[in-house]
Amino acid sequence: MILVAGGTGTLGSRVTQQLAKAGAPVRVLTRDATRAARLAAEGAEVAIGDVRDPATVRTAVRDVTTVVSAIQGFAGLDPNGAEAVDLSGNRTLHEEAAVAGAQRFVLISAAGAAADSTLDLRRVKHQAEQDLARSGLAWTVVRPTVYLETWLAILGDMAAKGAITLFGRGDNPINFVSADDVAALTVHVAESPAFDAETLEIGGPENLTLNDLARRVLARHGSPGRVRHVPLPVLRAISIVLRPIKPDAASLAGFGVVMDTMDMTLAVDTARAAVADLPVTTAADLLG
């Protein structure tokens, strides 16, 4: 049995679908049963629980041989979500999995995860990686770049209302990867001990700016809408001034600054070098 934690999210749902389609026994750990209804109809078991609650995790990992953790707390409203979910939640997952007799753990991290990263999420993901390496389980870390599907959905929602607002200048090249491609890699390594103790970074075939992506989305929607920008100085001010009173908004503003100023490309796609025949999905493929 393979447990997919975060199995109803952008990546987790795709991993679950691919495993179920291949006939693998798969269980989804989710806080919301309604979100997992479609996956249950496709053959997945559903375990209701929260990685912040060890008791529910203990139930979810019963009879599991492999855990895939696609959880993430950065996008939630909890300003401490990254540490509570990505760090403490993953620790609970692999500790309970080890006690239950699981053998392997696949952690979805983030490209560029490092102890000295300027981005909170990347620092927390790196800590989670280090925790997992000390767990005693066989492990593989998958580090994707930014999901195309996530940003196409965000920009598409704005385009439908007639205008797209970007944080910053929108001219920074970003490597986007399709969650479908990352799911294919995740399923492959979850079923193969050949990648034990490996960290694989995976990206897509294109570096695009948010301005590029916004224009493509507007064209796809047939919208004459325009692209507006929140200036970087405003974002920096928001990230500082709102930190004591609205830390979630401050965190998002800070993330906007990072995406607009730091290197968001991928130097070496180690996953595609190691795994042959992974799908290569472009923005044009998804936009149609």
Q: Is the model's pLDDT at 46 over the cut of 80?
A: yes
Lowest mean pLDDT among 25-34, 41-50, 75-84, 163-172: 75-84
Tally of CB atoms within 10 A around 211: 16
Task: Read off the pTM.
Answer: 0.94
| Residue 264 pLDDT | 95
| Range 246-253 average pLDDT | 83
**What would the two tokens of residue 166 be?**
């970007």
Put the strands of the sheet holding 174-177 in their side by side order.
146-147, 174-177, 206-208
Q: Is the model's pLDDT at 160 over the cut of 50?
A: yes
Closest CA to 107 of 77, 134, 80: 134
Strand partners, 30: 48
| Range 220-241 average pLDDT | 91
| Residue 10 pLDDT | 95
Alpha carbons 252 and 103: distance in angstroms, whole number? 36
Domain spans in the chain, listed from the N-terminal domain onward: 2-144+179-203+267-279
Alpha carbons 195 and 174: distance in angstroms, whole number? 27
**What would the two tokens of residue 90 be?**
């993953």
Mean pLDDT of the chain: 93
Tally of CB atoms within 10 A around 221: 17
Alpha carbons 231 and 235: distance in angstroms, whole number? 6
246 vs 264, higher pLDDT: 264
| Range 180-194 average pLDDT | 96
Matching residue, tokens 């991290």: 109
| Residue 76 pLDDT | 46
- Amino acid at site 64: V
| Residue 232 pLDDT | 95
The CATH code belonging to domain 2-144+179-203+267-279 is 3.40.50.720
| Residue 77 pLDDT | 43
| Range 12-26 average pLDDT | 96
Q: Which long-range contacts (CB under 8 A, 24 or more apart) does 217-225 make?
A: 217/152, 217/155, 217/156, 217/159, 217/164, 217/287, 218/159, 218/164, 220/156, 220/159, 220/287, 220/288, 221/156, 221/159, 221/160, 223/159, 223/160, 223/162, 225/159, 225/161, 225/162, 225/163, 225/164
| Residue 254 pLDDT | 87
CA dihedral (119, 122, 128, 134) positive or negative: negative
| Residue 88 pLDDT | 92
Tens digits of per-residue pLDDT, 68-112? 999 987 654 444 667 888 899 999 999 999 999 999 999 999 999
Closest CA to 87 of 100, 99, 71, 76: 71
Q: What percent of the chain has pLDDT over 70?
A: 97
Which residues neighbour 233 within 8 Å (Cβ) at sequence distance 6 or greater?
Answer: none
- Amino acid at site 23: G
Q: Is the model's pLDDT at 278 over the cut of 80?
A: yes
Tens digits of per-residue pLDDT, 146-156? 999 999 999 99
